[in-house]
């Protein structure tokens, strides 16, 4: 069992790395306008490998662009590899089902999640980059990342002799649930969603300049059109279909979301300022990553979305989410419990509220 557990831990870590790679490949595919590099799914012009121009012309009237087609197919191959890895992880987990029933169920849930992501990948192509599906595809990728990361994080803290506690650790020493942590997590997920919506609607440079937008504090913005969540199905959404005012509204909302996230993180740090070193370090790590992300965002707008900075922007969002979830496992998800003071006067004041 110890050997099997070690393999599961190694596989789960590999799944985390591979999921992050698939996520970044997906972003790179979009940034290079290669999302429709192959007009069909799961093949490319009816083939498993990118064909030559003559073969492609026999399948579709859409001209073949080899670089974009290969970018799209590399992304698909990596995603398929993650699916195979998820199956292997499930098989190893099944070998431990006599010791832990939750382990294989969690692995099965991750496999189903990856399969669901495959479906969203298909719809991204067949619905021609429909913004709702593209945004959902990004969120699904991050959900897979956090799922595998959480699985790995829980497993690595378990001794082989205590494998039955993998999914059900003892929480009796923890305090009550910390609403501020969960609020911060919700704000972060909301901000990532806004980022995905900004990207899928090509609103990344709808605002030039910072902190002003197009040299105004509050420029003309069409929020109703910008957040119309059921745009027409059928048009090609490459480069977007929205008017400038609608894209400005989306971009402004993303900036406001960044401000709200910063406020939430400051409140969380203030709450945890007297917490254990490990917990406080988690908050500081999230704060540092957030600061780096703001710097990247500033230069991203100033330099009109250069490829590497745009890729780094997504990577930083994923790292912030992982760091916050890790902090939750280390104690942020629960209110800090004050340790009993050795000073009898302080102890009496705490007990009687003076």
Tens-place pLDDT, residues 146-155: 999 999 998 8
User: Would you state the pLDDT for residue 159?
Assistant: 53
Question: What does residue 28 show for φ and ψ, rounded to 5 degrees?
Answer: -60, -40
339 and 257 share a domain? yes
Task: Decide if pLDDT at 348 tops 90.
Answer: no
Task: Decide if pLDDT at 339 tops 70.
Answer: no
Angle of helix 277-302 versus helix 244-271 axis, rounded to 10:
160
Q: How many alpha carbons fall within 13 Å on the CB side of residue 84?
A: 6
User: Would you state the pLDDT for residue 340?
Assistant: 52
Of 167, 195, 217, the residue at which a domain comes to its end is 167
Tell whether the torsion through CA atoms of 187, 189, 193 and 198 is positive or negative: positive
> What value does the mean pLDDT take over residues 326-349?
67
42 and 110 share a domain? yes
Higher-pLDDT residue of 281 and 342 is 281
> What value does the mean pLDDT take over residues 17-41?
96
Q: What is the pLDDT of residues 214-261, one digit of tens each?
A: 999 989 999 999 999 998 998 999 999 999 999 999 999 999 999 999
User: Would you state the pLDDT for residue 172?
Assistant: 43
% the chain with pLDDT above 70: 89
Structural contact between residues 22 and 56, judged by C-beta atoms closer than 8 angstroms: no
Model confidence at 171, pLDDT cuts 50, 70, 90, reads very low
Model confidence at 173, pLDDT cuts 50, 70, 90, reads low
Structural contact between residues 232 and 162, judged by C-beta atoms closer than 8 angstroms: no
Closest CA relative to residue 328, chosen from 156, 102, 168, 150? 150
Print the domain residue range for 255. Answer: 176-354
Mean pLDDT of the chain: 89
Angle of helix 2-31 versus helix 66-94 axis, rounded to 10:
160
27 and 136 share a domain? yes
Structural contact between residues 14 and 85, judged by C-beta atoms closer than 8 angstroms: yes
> What value does the mean pLDDT take over residues 332-340?
67
Among 65, 72, 243, 351, the one annotated catalytic: 72
45 and 148 share a domain? yes
132 and 102 share a domain? yes
> Which distant-in-sequence residues (6+ apart) come within 8 Å of 137 by Cβ?
26, 117, 120, 121, 123, 124
Lowest mean pLDDT among 52-66, 172-186, 266-280, 310-324: 172-186
User: Would you state the pLDDT for residue 169?
Assistant: 45
Measured CA to CA, the distance from residue 193 to residue 268 in angstroms comes to 21
User: Would you state the pLDDT for residue 167?
Assistant: 47
Higher-pLDDT residue of 344 and 107 is 107
> What value does the mean pLDDT take over residues 110-134?
97
200 and 146 share a domain? no
> Which distant-in-sequence residues (6+ apart) come within 8 Å of 234 by Cβ?
128
User: Would you state the pLDDT for residue 342?
Assistant: 53
320 and 346 share a domain? yes
Q: What 3-state class would DSSP assign to 196?
A: helix
209 and 325 share a domain? yes
pTM as predicted = 0.89
State how many domains the chain has.
2
User: Would you state the pLDDT for residue 117?
Assistant: 97
User: Would you state the pLDDT for residue 333?
Assistant: 86
Task: Note if 157 is an active site residue.
Answer: no
Supply angle C-alpha 13, 23, 26, rounded to 5: 150
Lowest mean pLDDT among 94-98, 163-167, 240-244, 330-334: 163-167
Of 167, 192, 221, the residue at which a domain comes to its end is 167
Beta bridge partners of 44: 47
9 and 44 share a domain? yes
Of 126, 146, 167, the residue at which a domain comes to its end is 167
Beta bridge partners of 47: 44
> What value does the mean pLDDT take over residues 38-67?
92
> What value does the mean pLDDT take over residues 8-16?
95
Tell whether the torsion through CA atoms of 178, 319, 129 and 148 is positive or negative: negative
Task: Decide if pLDDT at 11 tops 90.
Answer: yes
């Amino acid at each position: 069992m110890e050997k099997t557990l070690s393999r599961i831990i190694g596989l789960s870590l590999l799944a985390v790395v591979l999921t992050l790679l698939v996520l970044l490949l997906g972003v790179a595919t979009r940034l290079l306008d290669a999302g429709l590099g192959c007009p069909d799914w799961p093949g490319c012009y009816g083939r498993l490998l990118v064909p030559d121009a003559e073969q492609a012309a026999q399948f579709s009237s859409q001209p073949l662009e080899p670089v974009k087609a290969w970018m799209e197919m590399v992304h698909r191959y990596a995603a398929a590899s993650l699916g195979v890895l998820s199956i292997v992880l499930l098989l190893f987990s099944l070998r431990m089902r006599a010791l832990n029933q939750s382990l294989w169920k969690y692995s099965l849930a991750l496999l189903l999640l990856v399969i669901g992501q495959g479906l969203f990948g298909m719809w991204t192509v067949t619905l021609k980059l429909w913004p709702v599906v593209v945004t959902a595809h990004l969120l699904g990728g991050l959900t897979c990342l956090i799922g595998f990361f959480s699985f790995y994080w829980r497993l690595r803290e378990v001794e082989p002799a205590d494998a039955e506690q993998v999914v059900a650790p003892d929480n009796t020493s923890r305090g009550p649930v910390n609403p501020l942590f969960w609020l911060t997590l919700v704000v972060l997920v909301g901000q990532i969603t806004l980022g995905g919506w900004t990207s899928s609607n090509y609103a990344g440079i709808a605002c030039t300049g910072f902190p002003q937008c197009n040299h105004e504090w509050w420029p003309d913005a069409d929020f109703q059109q910008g957040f119309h969540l059921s745009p027409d199905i059928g048009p090609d959404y490459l480069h977007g279909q929205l008017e400038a005012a609608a894209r400005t509204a989306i971009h402004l909302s993303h900036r406001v979301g960044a401000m709200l996230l910063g406020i939430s993180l400051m409140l969380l740090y203030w709450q945890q300022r007297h917490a254990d070193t490990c917990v406080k370090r988690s908050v500081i790590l999230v704060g540092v990553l957030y600061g780096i992300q703001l710097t990247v965002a500033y230069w991203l707008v100033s330099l009109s979305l250069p490829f590497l900075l745009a890729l780094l922007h997504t990577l930083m969002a994923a790292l912030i989410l992982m760091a916050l979830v890790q902090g939750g496992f280390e104690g942020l998800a629960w209110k800090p419990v004050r340790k009993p003071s050795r000073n009898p006067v302080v102890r009496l004041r705490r007990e009687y509220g003076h």
